[in-house]
Amino acid sequence: MSDCFSRSAPHLGFTQDGVDFYDQTRSWPPNITMMWRESIVARLGNAANILDLGVGTGRLAIELRREAPNVVGLDFSFPMLSRFSRKQREIKDKVPLIQGDATMLPFHESSFDCVLTTHLWPFVAEWHRGLSEVCRVLRRSGLLIDTEGGPTFEGLRGELHDAWQRALVRRGVVARYPGPQSRHAFEKALRELCARKVGHISIATWSESKQVKELLSTVAGHYQFCFCVPLSEVKAIQKEIETRAMNHFQLDETVLDPQSLKLSIWRFGANRESVIDRCVRWFRE
């Protein structure tokens, strides 16, 4: 395996530092992860063949593996997969891991009952191609389950992101995801591929207590690692925003950070062959 993710997409940061940041800031409370797992297993059963696409450091796949033994993880980033392997060292039934690209999946047609994605698509520049690959590797009546989960950006976190966006614009720094720019664009593309939304399940809403300084550094890390904003800019903006925040908050004050977790479930049209033909035509245009 090689670090092809950071080489071919140098603007994205799932490199070694990004792995540490990701692992430290992205976990959900154990009961929420369990609810996520139960919703998936209730929908698919225990025997389903599942591809966790963009599996990352495995925070979800490891949990899913407890009840769904046929789960496979694929990711572009060698550092993310290495961290996942390390976590699995002591586990007997490991999730098989493959380094690969969501836009060129190394699987035969109709290999899976379900493709799971969590926080993947914003990072995939050729995301249309990735969706057509998902359609190709899914069995007839297979499902794409996309987890929409994490902070709702209400409260202080939302204010901090707004402040970051304004500061970046002022400094002429471009920070945008290479993938779909909105949920609407993503869902529109799926509909154009004859996929139908067959479920939209709200699993949980909850709030996490965070210290102001923790939120400040998590949001800064987001711009550093997810958008690869240069470190000098990150430090300057972080300082500016921290100074302003201190006019209103104590750095060790605790605030609530609202979170929500939803599943959006898609089934590609019954006439899969024609969908795949259309995908091929579409991406050749």
Applying CB under 6 A, the residues found at the interface with ligand SAM are 5, 14, 26, 54-56, 59-60, 75-77, 80, 101-103, 118-120, 123-124
In whole angstroms, what is the distance from residue 213 CA to residue 239 CA?
Answer: 12
Closest approach, Cβ 20 to ligand SAM, in A, equals 13
Residue nearest to ligand SAM (CB): 56
Nearer to ligand SAM, 73 or 249 (CB): 73
Identify which of 227, 171, 220, 176 has the alpha carbon closest to the alpha carbon of residue 10.
227
* Cβ-proximal residues to 174 (8 Å cutoff; 6+ apart), any chain: 168
Nearer to ligand SAM, 37 or 119 (CB): 119
Closest approach, Cβ 253 to ligand SAM, in A, equals 28
Cα four-point dihedral sign 202, 203, 204, 210: negative
Closest approach, Cβ 14 to ligand SAM, in A, equals 4
- DSSP secondary structure of 167-202: HHHHTT-----SS-SSHHHHHHHHHHTTEEEEEEEE
Tokens representing 107 are: 């699987």
Nearer to ligand SAM, 43 or 213 (CB): 43
The CA-atom distances, in angstroms, between 104 and each of 97, 149, 169, 217, 264 are 16, 26, 34, 35, 23
Closest approach, Cβ 260 to ligand SAM, in A, equals 15
Identify which of 277, 263, 269 has the alpha carbon closest to the alpha carbon of residue 146.
263
Closest approach, Cβ 172 to ligand SAM, in A, equals 26
Nearer to ligand SAM, 99 or 238 (CB): 99
Closest approach, Cβ 78 to ligand SAM, in A, equals 9
Closest approach, Cβ 270 to ligand SAM, in A, equals 28
Tokens representing 83 are: 């961290």
What are 148's strand-pairing partners? 262
**E strand map for 54-194:** 71-75, 97-99, 112-118, 138-151
Nearer to ligand SAM, 82 or 211 (CB): 82
Nearer to ligand SAM, 148 or 159 (CB): 148
The CA-atom distances, in angstroms, between 83 and each of 60, 71, 156 are 13, 18, 31
Nearer to ligand SAM, 15 or 49 (CB): 15
